[in-house]
């Protein structure tokens, strides 16, 4: 496939709104203009990375450059045509959809009464910190890991004990023996990112059970962030923590959403699944203190995606897997650069250690020479210093251009 220049892509995408209507949400090659459309990924890129959306390619914020499924767009149109935008009701309708999806897609029997809603998964993470720990307590993070965990812990005045992941056979593994030797007694919560962000790792059921046993031994709440659970590549399988380790239920809280898998992040709707009644009782006062009701559109989009979006999900995951294969083969061929293999997500974790360059130099080449906004690995904690994270959820013509820019920026390694 011949690469399309970004300038041509922008020109092609800069169509009047009417002409963009009726496009096929399953045509993932289609490039649409997102700059100037109230999109953080494009409109904040220059502030974040010094890369202008006029000539830059955003590969940082974790949302996809694809239209949502028809079933989601239809429910939004229906709401707009109806014209009433008041408070939402009957969250149970959404909970039934969540439970049905968990059973069908992930083999997890979830009761609707276990489910409560938050304004995004990070908000749910903060609620869990408040409900199950106190200021001055520590949480365990297996690093490198999603950077928002660090920020939320700091905001809630919780300390962080970093347990650095080790690379074996090209993928991350937890080192629970090393972690055990670092425990101080202040730890209250262990956080599992499953699937792993930024490594794209699917944890084996045995690994999850080992972590659950570790938490039981040291009286730790197990907080499982499974927001990327619906971004598993064809042929692979995500195992929910509750399914892998059913004995962990008395100390397990799962936070997730349809937002990543179905590209609904703007709906700011996450959910917490808490099978244990005692834990739900402990969480309830914190949720009440936060107050408010779920986002009307986020709830409707979630229900629509989980009841009617299976075909779209299957198609987008296959497309992402092909994007990753192309990226891995070409970027991984550059001397000194290693692309970590992954089975899920669209966030590629790339190791620049063997280039001999400093993180500052690789960052300069990516942002200034290639005009790409990426996420620096140091933001993800210990072990990420020589890495960069790249979002591959974009039309393939644009991904090819990003690859060509990086090949040129690091061409002296050839």
> Would you give per-residue pLDDT tens digits along the chain (414 residues)?
333 332 333 222 322 233 334 456 689 999 988 988 999 999 999 999 999 999 999 999 999 999 999 999 999 999 999 999 998 888 999 999 999 999 999 999 999 999 999 999 999 999 999 999 999 999 999 999 999 999 999 999 999 999 999 999 999 999 999 999 999 999 999 999 999 999 999 999 999 999 999 999 999 999 999 999 999 999 999 999 999 999 999 999 999 999 999 999 999 999 999 999 999 999 999 999 987 788 999 999 999 999 999 999 999 999 999 999 999 999 999 999 999 999 999 999 999 999 999 999 999 999 999 999 999 999 999 999 999 999 999 999 999 999 999 999 999 986
Whether residue 265 is found in the same domain as residue 189? yes
Of the residues 271, 290, 308, the one at which a domain ends: 308
CATH number of the domain within which 179 lies = 3.40.640.10
Q: Residue 18: what pLDDT?
A: 31
What is the structure's pLDDT at 1? 30
Please indicate, yes or no, whether residues 258 and 371 belong to a single structural domain of this protein.
no
Based on the fold, state whether residues 344 and 283 are members of the same structural domain. no
- CA-nearest of 96, 153, 144, 98 to 125 is 153
**Residue 225 resides in a domain:** yes
Contact criterion met (CB below 8 Å) for 194 and 114: no
Residue 127 lies in a domain: yes
Q: 127 φ, ψ to 5°?
A: -60, -40
pLDDT at 5: 31
Question: Domain range spanning residue 169?
Answer: 78-308
Short-list 259, 279, 227, CA closest to 113: 279
From CA 325, how far away is CA 323, in angstroms rounded? 6
- Check residue 290 and give its pLDDT: 86
Number of domain units in the chain: 2
Do 239 and 93 lie in one domain? The reply is yes
Give the span between the Cα atoms of 377 and 365, in whole angstroms. Answer: 15
- Across 184-222, b (16+ Cβ under 10 Å) vs e yields eeebbbbbbbbbbbbbbbbbeeebbbebbebbeeeebbb
CB 66 within 8 A of CB 318: no
Residue-level pLDDT at 24: 64
């Amino acid at each position: 496939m011949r690469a399309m220049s970004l300038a041509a892509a922008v020109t092609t995408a800069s169509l009047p709104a009417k002409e963009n209507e009726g496009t096929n949400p399953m045509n993932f090659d289609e490039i649409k203009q997102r700059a100037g459309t109230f999109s953080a990924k494009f409109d904040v890129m220059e502030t974040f990375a010094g890369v202008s959306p006029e000539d830059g390619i955003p590969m940082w914020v974790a949302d996809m450059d694809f239209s949502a499924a028809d079933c989601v767009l239809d429910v939004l149109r229906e709401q707009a045509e109806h014209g009433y935008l008041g408070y939402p009701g009957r969250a149970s309708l959404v909970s039934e959809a969540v439970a049905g999806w968990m059973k069908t897609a992930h083999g997890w029997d979830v009761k609707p009464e276990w489910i409560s809603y938050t304004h995004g998964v990070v908000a749910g993470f903060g609620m869990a910190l408040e409900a199950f720990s106190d200021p001055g307590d520590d949480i365990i993070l297996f690093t490198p890991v999603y950077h928002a965990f660090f920020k939320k812990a700091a905001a809630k005045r919780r300390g962080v004990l970093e347990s650095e992941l080790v690379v074996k056979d090209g993928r991350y593994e937890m080192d629970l023996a090393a972690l055990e030797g670092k425990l101080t007694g202040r730890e209250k919560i262990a956080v599992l990112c499953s699937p792993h962000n930024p490594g794209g790792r699917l944890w084996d059921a045995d690994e999850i059970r080992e972590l659950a046993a570790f938490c039981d031994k040291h009286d730790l709440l197990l907080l499982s962030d499974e927001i990327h659970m619906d971004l598993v590549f064809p042929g692979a399988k995500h195992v929910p923590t509750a399914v892998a380790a059913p004995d962990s239920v008395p100390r397990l809280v799962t936070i997730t959403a349809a937002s990543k898998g179905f590209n609904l992040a703007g709906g700011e709707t996450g959910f917490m699944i808490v099978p244990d009644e005692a834990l739900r009782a402990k969480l309830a006062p914190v949720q009440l203190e936060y107050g408010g009701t779920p986002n009307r559109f986020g709830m409707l989009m979630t229900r629509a995606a989980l009841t009617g979006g299976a075909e779209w999900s299957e198609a987008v995951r296959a497309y992402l897997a092909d994007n990753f294969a192309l990226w891995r083969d070409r970027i991984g061929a550059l001397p000194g650069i290693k692309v970590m293999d992954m089975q899920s997500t669209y966030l590629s974790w790339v190791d620049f250690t063997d280039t001999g360059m400093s993180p500052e130099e690789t960052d300069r080449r990516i942002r200034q020479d290639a005009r790409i906004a990426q996420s620096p690995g140091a933001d993800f904690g210990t072990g990420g210093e020589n890495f960069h994270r790249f979002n591959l959820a974009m039309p393939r013509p644009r991904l090819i251009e990003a690859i060509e820019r990086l090949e040129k920026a690091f061409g002296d390694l050839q």
